[in-house]
Structure 1
Amino acid sequence: MAPVGFRPPGSIIEIGAVELLRQDDRWEKGRTYHTMVNPEGPVERRAIQIHGIHETRLKDAPRFAEVFEPFSRFIGSAGIIAHAYENERLYLDYEFARLGRTNWGDEAYPIGRWLCTQRAFARQFNQTSKSLDVVCDKLWLDRSERDFHGALLDADLTADVLVMLELMALHGYDVETARGLSLGLTALC
């Protein structure tokens, strides 16, 4: 997700999600969901720099109220994977409450549904920096198309991170072996 500001709470300006399906002992990417979202207000300069999305691109985008139903149907009852999930969760909590779908202070999705790849990475590697860029570099994941924090690309990379971390944790593979096994595999975010 891309927010209107740099820190939660606040409005969302872009949503991207990638479905991960378990097929026997492999993950496969399924459907994707992507939309820009009109925040109904100004976008902070820092957010524009981070996400590369200017207000002019959002003026004709649907409002969160319009994407709530299709987004909720896409998520369904599945678990939700995110990198630095606290941010994603807080932005969704804000938007759901703003619409009156939850009470202020309530969770849009229960915390037990979330899996954080940043935390999973931190448990496997002793590194102070756990940004998505650092994680992708450590796991040899191609992030060459990532000039900005784009919601769908970030969701896709997060899915790849999950697959790599699972291969390493469950099977004891090193990064090089897991990378070779994950080529062609897919995941959900």
Structure 2
Amino acid sequence: MREIVLDTETTGFDPKTGDRLIEVGCIELMDLLPTGRTYHTLVNPDRLIPPDATRVHGITDDKVKDAPRFADIVKELDAFIGDAPVIAHNAQFDRNFIDFEYARIAHPLIDGSRWIDTLQLAQKKFPGMPNSLDALCKRFKVSLADRTFHGALIDARLLAEVYLELRGGKERRLDLSSARVTAVSGPVTAAAHGARPRPLAARSTEAERAAHLEFLKATLKDHTLWEGYGLDMEKAPAA
């Protein structure tokens, strides 16, 4: 199962008011684990970046002045995403900017059904609790030590770890595939698990065991139960 975790950084909150996308970061997951493949680029927004936005992500006008425009990176981005589901936190925000940039160059949009919002997943799992990416990282003990500013690729990495936890946690790393699990059918016997390498020493004496068999033969009418455990009642000493 291939999925793409995506995060963006922008000049503001709404592309309809003139804000633009300035960074995209993607992480590839396969069966809920990172493959090591990533996609990351800065994007020239053809406008100035407000100081308030720079304080959040640390991206300045100077950093993006020589970056490619979205039309120049769309083929690479499209090829990386492919037809995989797209995972994002508060996905509507990232989707608005991606859709806006696609629409500007008359590029087909990513189908809405392919977007998976981890904020909605978290709200269902932790109703009434803080569910920002930072809050979820702290809840799941995902380290934020390497993040000085918000950045598309580093936030995508953090979100990939959070998404793994939301989908079932680290126990998904266990290999429980049918190829590695051998089913044992029928009664469980010592042979099914292998013989004990060093048999335990008997805790009773021979005289005590003989006395016990005499007791069983004298008092029990149904010997079959005990014979099933290896006690040969016919060889028991006469009562």
TM-score range, shorter-chain basis? 0.7 to 0.9
Instruction: Note the alpha carbon deviations across 1:3-42, whole angstroms, 9 max, x for none.
Output: 12134443111110000012xxx62333100001110111
How many residue pairs get aligned? The number is 165
Residue 130 in structure 1 maps to residue 137 in structure 2:
no
Residue 6 in structure 1 maps to residue 17 in structure 2:
no
| Whole-Å separation in 2 of the counterparts to 1:60 and 1:182 | 42
How far does residue 46 in structure 1 lie from its aligned partner after superposition? Answer: 1.9
TM-score by length of 1: 0.81
Residue 117 in structure 1 maps to residue 124 in structure 2:
no
Instruction: Note the alpha carbon deviations across 1:34-70, whole angstroms, 9 max, x for none.
Output: 0011101111222111111011100011111111110
Instruction: Quote the RMSD (CA, aligned, Å).
Output: 1.9
Residue 94 in structure 1 maps to residue 95 in structure 2:
no
* Other-structure match for 1:42: 48
* Other-structure match for 2:156: 155
How far does residue 127 in structure 1 lie from its aligned partner after superposition? Answer: 3.5
Look up the equivalent residue of 1:5 and give its one-letter code: G
Q: Which has the higher contact order (CA 8 A, sep 6+)?
A: 1
- Identity between Structure 1 and Structure 2 (%): 36
- Does the 8 Å CA contact 1:6/1:47 hold for their aligned counterparts? no
Look up the equivalent residue of 1:121 and give its one-letter code: A
Tell me the secondary structure at the aligned position of residue 77 of structure 1.
coil
| Whole-Å separation in 2 of the counterparts to 1:36 and 1:83 | 20
Tell me the secondary structure at the aligned position of residue 52 of structure 2.
helix
| Whole-Å separation in 2 of the counterparts to 1:37 and 1:55 | 11
Show structure 2 runs of 5+ residues with no match.
Answer: 1-7, 175-239
TM-score by length of 2: 0.65
How far does residue 115 in structure 1 lie from its aligned partner after superposition? Answer: 0.8
| Whole-Å separation in 2 of the counterparts to 1:65 and 1:81 | 22
* Other-structure match for 1:105: none
Look up the equivalent residue of 1:138 and give its one-letter code: R
| Whole-Å separation in 2 of the counterparts to 1:17 and 1:42 | 24
Q: 1:58 aligns with which of 57, 60, 64?
A: 64
* Other-structure match for 1:187: none
* Other-structure match for 2:146: 145
Look up the equivalent residue of 2:136 and give its one-letter code: V
* Other-structure match for 1:20: 29
